[in-house]
Amino acid sequence: MCILGWGIFSDPATENMASIIYVHTYIMTYLIFIGTFVFWHTIAIIRKFLFIINYPRGRLDIRRRVFLFKTARTLSHDSVTELLWTCIPAIILAIIAIPSFNLLYTADMLGDVDMSIKIIGHQWYWTYQFTGEGLTWLVKNELIDESYLNNKNYISYNSNMLTEDALEEGQFRLLSVDNALYLPEETPIKLLITSQDVLHSWAVPSFGIKMDACPARLNQTYLYVFRTGTYFGQCSELCGVNHAFMPIEVTVLSK
């Protein structure tokens, strides 16, 4: 199960992403068992048909015809068989649907939040805007100088990808940015995502978030990161010629 789920995903940093990995592993486990059974059953039927067909002609030819007739009748006109292959897939779909619907509900649920951050997509960079509690947290943790605010009740800054000649040791090509998004751990945060020009998509795999940024529309999602670290993502919408050079870097700090 670890091979099926955790090995192909980024390490989860939110409960939502951990639930996505669990549901994927849960469904894939059933699919592997079902696929193995269907494959084995198909091979067994083919072997029986080949065994009967390869019988020498003569007296055994009648047995072959009777077997083929009974098998075809059982597979196509038998009430029990038709009931089984109708009910069993329906039961399997119900088993898969229950955790899937629960995950969809919890991923879309927005409870009480401690801060809100606005994310604006541009061609081809991101703008992060802090207000209220988020701005207070930045000043408290000395991530910005309070004098820089100049009596403003918000701060807004751009996040551009670092060019190759600007990379330092330990930074990642095509992923590291000049100004990362800083967030506190174990804090309920509301992300407001929009765009100023074309369609973008703010996606960070470790958070389990992939939210479209649409012009003239404000989408929102919920974020609660339970461990510190630096997480990367990229724009997941074809937003133009530099679509591949619009990374996301999020640094989560201890409270």
Q: Is the pLDDT of residue 219 over 90?
A: yes
Q: Write the CA distances from 238 to 124, 128, 212, 234, integer angstroms.
A: 11, 21, 11, 11
Q: Is the pLDDT of residue 1 over 50?
A: no
**CATH architecture of the domain with residue range 115-253:** Sandwich (2.60)
Q: List strands edge to edge, sheet with 219-223.
A: 154-159, 125-131, 115-122, 189-195, 219-223
Q: Please report, rounded to a whole number, the percentage of residues in the chain having pLDDT higher than 70.
A: 85
Q: Tell me what pLDDT residue 58 has.
A: 53
Q: What is the mean pLDDT of the chain?
A: 83
Cα separation, 14 vs 238, in Å, equals 26
Cα separation, 79 vs 12, in Å, equals 47
Nearest 5°: the CA angle 70, 73, 78 is 120
Strands 181-184 and 247-253: parallel
Is there a contact between 23 and 103 (Cβ–Cβ < 8 Å)? yes
Q: Is the pLDDT higher at 117 or at 88?
A: 117
SS3 24: helix
**Burial (CB count <10 Å: 0-12, 13-18, 19+), residue 218:** exposed
Least confident piece of the model among 28-42, 55-69, 112-126, 209-223:
55-69
SS3 63: helix
Nearest 5°: the CA angle 123, 119, 109 is 135
Is there a contact between 251 and 181 (Cβ–Cβ < 8 Å)? yes
Is there a contact between 160 and 128 (Cβ–Cβ < 8 Å)? no
Helix (H) or strand (E) holding 36: helix 15-53
For residue 233, give the nearest of 249, 217, 219 by alpha carbon.
Answer: 249
Cα separation, 102 vs 160, in Å, equals 37
**What average pLDDT does the segment 119-145 reach?**
88
